[in-house]
Structure 1
Amino acid sequence: MLKQKMPMATVYQALIAITLVASGAAHAQTGAAAYPTKPVKLVVGFAAGGPTDVVARAFADHASKALGQPFIIDNKPGAGTIIAAQAVASAPADGYTLLFGATNHTMIPGLYQNRVKFDAVKSFRPLCTVASSPTVLVVAPGLPVKTLADYLAKARAEPGRVTAGTAGVGSSGHFATEVFARAQGLQLNHVPYKGAAPVVTDLMGGQLDSSFATLGSVLPQIKSGKLRALAVGAPQRSALVPDLPTFAEAGGGNYAADVWYGVLAPAGLPEPVAQALEQAAAEFAKSAAAAEKLSGLGMTPESQCGAPFAARVAREVATHSQIAKALDLKAD
């Protein structure tokens, strides 16, 4: 029985079809892995030199090496970081414009209800946190309290008399103060300043009683004994102040008020791009270089990625909005 030969033209067509299918599959596989193919813009809502900017630059350096393209810092300070967030929310969701933000991102809706054209939750895809700085309760060296229990007793005995300084109305310290006061049923006398530095100065001088401050802003003064720390607002003790108890250990309930620093992208970011960025962020948080850089800022590496980070952002937006409404807080 004779076998019928396939026409040569048909053979060529079949080979071409197989080649196209194979090359198409290869292109699809390498297309996802190719990101990034050009520089990536990392938008920061603060001026150069501040804590958020310093961490962002450290992450950018790591990501540039890990992903093979420059990650360029674009500082857009002002309007409570609304300018930076708006720039990212309205950017294409292709991974080439990212937001390096912090906890204050979750305060925007409560403080600027009618001034924003984006949704702090729905307009973004939270990728990963890379660092955190816990809040610590510090008191003036002359205040006659040695422990958190002493502080609570004094505040309850003198409603509205114990002062608590913050970096301003609507600052992370202000929200941290109000969350603790509400949880403990305290009436603290909030004293807003224009920045963290004058708060520290007046604390050391005795013009202020206390402050719920980020650890990085008061770490040198705690170590030198110029300020007394009573508790750290984190689930575990900080390696930077290992002898300082958590609020839970000191009798302050499950209070935690750590400030996170992390990377967010416009909503709709392709999954392969998100995975590449999350991997780079997670690796940065685990690196020795990050630990060294962050410890000098009073921060610790942290890697919370994907859904848990997104849930955290949504939860904090709801909490901060509720507090802002209850206290009628509105930023200019």
Structure 2
Amino acid sequence: MKSKLSALAALLLAAGAAHAAYPERPVRVVVGFSPGGPTDVVARAFASYASQALGQTFVVENRPGANTILAAEAVAKSAPDGYTLLFGATNHTMIPALYADRVKFDALKSFTPLCAVAVSPTVLVTGPALKVGTLDAFLARARAEPGRLTYATPGTGSSGHFATEQFLRQTRISMNHIPYKGAAQAISDLMGGQVDSSLATLGSVLPQVQSGKLTALAVATPRRLPQLPQVPTFDEAGVPGYTADAWYGVLAPAGLPPDVRSRLEETARGFSQADATAKSLDALGMQPRQTCGDAFTAQLSNEIDTYRKLARELGLKAD
């Protein structure tokens, strides 16, 4: 009995020492996008906070390509020791729907989801060519001319594409999809009148809405946004229950030790709660989010199932 108690005490002491020691060397934070984009910007803010909070350098490593598959695969194959992290976004849960036959990892089981730390609300915007000022008028126009109105997205299978298709199904309207190779060209053509509308992340259209170059009809959030207090939610505008946030968060390889997981989740929560984080995210059209542990895992699982179902219905598969 005494030997068992001694062994247990030794294990507890070792676990406490491991928790206190982590991190003992620099931590890589892998991002599947090029520098300067929203995911990269939030990742760098998180890395800076974590470096100060944990007293060790967190280095952002950009690995763009294959719709973030290269970055996710690199992290999935890494040792589960907390020294390689993935800073991902909503499109991570779309990988199984679009690339099921091409990836060498499971978007959920190959990772330890830690925390979503920020969200970018989605807003329905129209360009100057479509002269409607409310969501009711937009829906009436779409129903009067089924299939004629157009909507722009950053690409087939993008978060904007999935969000719009969910909106079309809920409202039972038909529109023509115009995919682009990125958000910038899509928004440019929307302002130029080449396309009629877009369900876009707030950060990609906030300056244009504030300057009057685009009209915001509704925001896909539970509450109105402080950046656009005059714009109603979809609930308020007559499409109850429709939401479409884009999340940004931290994942580690599967099998992460509980003590390291606890420390990283604590750090991620601290980042979300910091006043400086709220201010920097507000400037990007984003908001802090604190969804961690089992709740984050459940969210990812639900999104994967939803996107798989929608991709099957649409016949979507990446080239």
1:306 is matched with which residue?
293
* Aligned match for 1:60, one of 32, 35, 47: 47
Instruction: Report the CA distance between 1:123 and its aligned residue.
Output: 1.0
Any idea what SS the aligned residue of 2:162 has? helix
Identical residues among aligned pairs (%):
60
1:228 aligns with 2:218: no
1:179 is matched with which residue?
166
Contact 2:43 2:87 in 1 (8 A): yes
1:87 aligns with 2:74: yes
User: What letter corresponds to residue 33 of structure 2 in structure 1?
Assistant: F
Instruction: Report the CA distance between 1:19 and its aligned residue.
Output: 10
Q: How does 1:89-238 map to 2 (within 5 A)?
A: 89-238=76-225
Instruction: Report the CA distance between 1:298 and its aligned residue.
Output: 1.0
Any idea what SS the aligned residue of 1:48 has? coil
Deviating more after overlay: 302-311 vs 287-296: 287-296
* Aligned match for 2:251, one of 255, 264, 269: 264
Any idea what SS the aligned residue of 2:269 has? helix
Instruction: Report the CA distance between 1:150 and its aligned residue.
Output: 0.8
* Aligned match for 1:46, one of 33, 53, 57: 33
Instruction: Report the CA distance between 1:20 and its aligned residue.
Output: 9.9
1:145–1:276 CA distance, 2 compared to 1 (3 A): same
Deviating more after overlay: 55-64 vs 135-144: 135-144
The list of structure 1 runs, each at least 4 consecutive aligned residues, that deviate by more than 4 angstroms after superposition, is 18-25
State the distance in 2 between where 1:314 and 1:90 align: 20
Any idea what SS the aligned residue of 1:98 has? strand
State the distance in 1 between where 2:163 and 2:9 align: 57
1:144–1:275 CA distance, 2 compared to 1 (3 A): same
State the distance in 2 between where 1:21 and 1:99 align: 34
1:285 is matched with which residue?
272
1:307–1:24 CA distance, 2 compared to 1 (3 A): closer
1:96–1:164 CA distance, 2 compared to 1 (3 A): same
Any idea what SS the aligned residue of 1:100 has? strand
State the distance in 1 between where 2:21 and 2:202 align: 40
Contact 1:141 1:226 in 2 (8 A): yes
Structure 1: gaps of 5 or more residues: 1-13
TM-score (norm 1): 0.92
Instruction: Report the CA distance between 1:153 and its aligned residue.
Output: 0.9
Contact 2:15 2:259 in 1 (8 A): no
Q: Which has the larger radius of gyration?
A: 1
1:125–1:26 CA distance, 2 compared to 1 (3 A): closer
Any idea what SS the aligned residue of 1:127 has? strand
User: What letter corresponds to residue 42 of structure 2 in structure 1?
Assistant: V
Structure 2: gaps of 5 or more residues: none
1:25–1:104 CA distance, 2 compared to 1 (3 A): closer
Instruction: Report the CA distance between 1:127 and its aligned residue.
Output: 0.6
State the distance in 2 between where 1:271 and 1:315 align: 24
State the distance in 2 between where 1:252 and 1:62 align: 38
Any idea what SS the aligned residue of 1:304 has? strand
State the distance in 1 between where 2:37 and 2:12 align: 46
Aligned length: 316
State the distance in 1 between where 2:238 and 2:88 align: 32
Contact 1:148 1:252 in 2 (8 A): no
Instruction: Report the CA distance between 1:142 and its aligned residue.
Output: 3.5
Instruction: Report the CA distance between 1:270 and its aligned residue.
Output: 1.2
State the distance in 2 between where 1:311 and 1:187 align: 31
